[in-house]
Amino acid sequence: MNPKVIPEFFRERADYLRRAARGPGGERDDLVLTVKTVIAAMAAWVLARHLLPPTVSTFAPFTALVALQATVYRSVRDSAQYLLAMAAGAALAATLAAVAGINGWTFGLLTLIALGVGRIRRFGQQGTQVAIIGFFAFSAGQGKIDYIGHLAASVVLGALCGLAAHLVLAPARHVHHRRQAVADLHDGIGRRLNGLVDIVEGEDHDIEHVRQCRRDWHTLSAECERIRRGIDTEIEHNRLHPRRGIDSAYFALLRARDAVAVAERMMDHLRSMTRALDYALDSGEIDNLPGSFREGFGSLLRSESAAMRAIGQTSPADPGRLANLIDTASAQLSRVEQQEQANAETPPQVHTLQGTLLTDASRLLAELGAGHRVLRPNS
């Protein structure tokens, strides 16, 4: 093994712990969940070791691991699915052992049936446990009812230890943190769009800046997926969480998730616009754009940038202000389109570039309008 790998590993772990200690966030949530899981598994193992036979005691800490998920709802759901899988696997093993005895072909039949039963959607991700529990009940327990009873007791004990850890220290809520992430996302998109305005208006001819922007759109798309997962987790916290949230926070999270979807759709058009500007800079065609088009198109993009930030802000967007921003952008788009159509002397290459940029800006404006309709308070 490369000797540099070990120090790098410890450095990453130290950074992870510093981020967890610095403030609320994913790192601290993961660390707290890990600590709770260790304590719950240890408690389940100790109790099972003193109360149940050694042949089944390991199932208690294993079930505690299953029972401790990121949200209380997910923990209850996975525990219930695991208990169902345990009951199905144990019942199947006991039935085959009683009817056909313990032998090779019976074990094969058990495997076949258990794999088929495990595909039932109700078992969720715990479907494979039907076969695993069936193997233990069939081999170690010989299909005997007393072993199956102890096995069930061990599984229930582990689930109770895991769920108790959630009740003692419930998962943290991060409603404001999730909404702030959405605001930062939209703000980042707006800042990059303003950077493109400098290109259009002729204040910046750095092609590397445009290409960095193209790379940023891919990074921000991945960020959208991460933010959406965080919001979905926070929405899931409203189900069965010991500390009930307020309804306004729940609806704010729904709006935040819609705002992420708007951002993803907008970036599709921004990628196309950035490609066009990259080509225009590389070929020099951007220098042939008329001054009136540069000025009007730059103003249009600034208005769209302001509307983006208004959609993503942490507090509910002012419907009147957002509508005015979109109306202003729409009027600017119409004005630039009319100027472009009226200039019959525009060279074909420049006309094509203008048409491409206007098409992307028009589609971007349509997404902003759709976002405004979705995010209105009464929607």
Q: How far apart (Å, rounded) are the C-alpha atoms in residues 298 and 304?
A: 10
Looking at 65-74, 220-229, 231-240, 257-266, which range is the least confident one? 231-240
pLDDT for position 98? 86
Strand ranges in the chain using DSSP code E only, listed in sequence order = none
In the chain, % of residues over pLDDT 70: 88
pLDDT band at residue 275 under the 50/70/90 scheme? very high
pLDDT for position 376? 60
Average pLDDT, the chain: 85
The answer on pLDDT for 315 being more than 90 is no
- Rounded to the nearest 5°, which phi and psi values hold at 140? -75, -35
- In one-letter notation, the amino acid at residue 224 is C
Q: How far apart (Å, rounded) are the C-alpha atoms in residues 83 and 124?
A: 12
pLDDT in tens, 330-351: 999 999 888 877 776 778 888 8
pLDDT for position 42? 95
Q: With both helix axes pointing from N to C terminus, report the angle between 59-67 and 145-168 in degrees, rounded to the nearest 10.
A: 40
275-292 average pLDDT score = 86
> Which residue's entry shows tokens 């078992």?
123
By the 10 Å C-beta count (0-12 exposed, 13-18 middle, 19+ buried), 200 is classed as buried
The answer on pLDDT for 201 being more than 70 is yes
The answer on pLDDT for 237 being more than 60 is yes
Query: DSSP labels for 37-80?
Result: HHHHHHHHHHHHHHHS-HHHHTHHHHHHHHH--SSHHHHHHHHH
pLDDT in tens, 136-177: 888 887 878 888 889 899 999 999 999 999 888 877 777 888
The answer on pLDDT for 324 being more than 70 is yes
The answer on pLDDT for 246 being more than 70 is no
Q: Which two tokens stand for residue 346?
A: 């525009």
Q: How far apart (Å, rounded) are the C-alpha atoms in residues 29 and 332?
A: 47
Q: How far apart (Å, rounded) are the C-alpha atoms in residues 248 and 246?
A: 6
pLDDT for position 139? 83
The answer on pLDDT for 13 being more than 70 is no
pLDDT for position 23? 58
Running DSSP on this structure, what letter comes out for residue 102? Answer: S
Q: How far apart (Å, rounded) are the C-alpha atoms in residues 90 and 44?
A: 21
The pTM score is 0.75
pLDDT band at residue 379 under the 50/70/90 scheme? very low
**C-alpha distances out from residue 260 to 186, 235, 309, 375, Å:** 8, 14, 12, 11
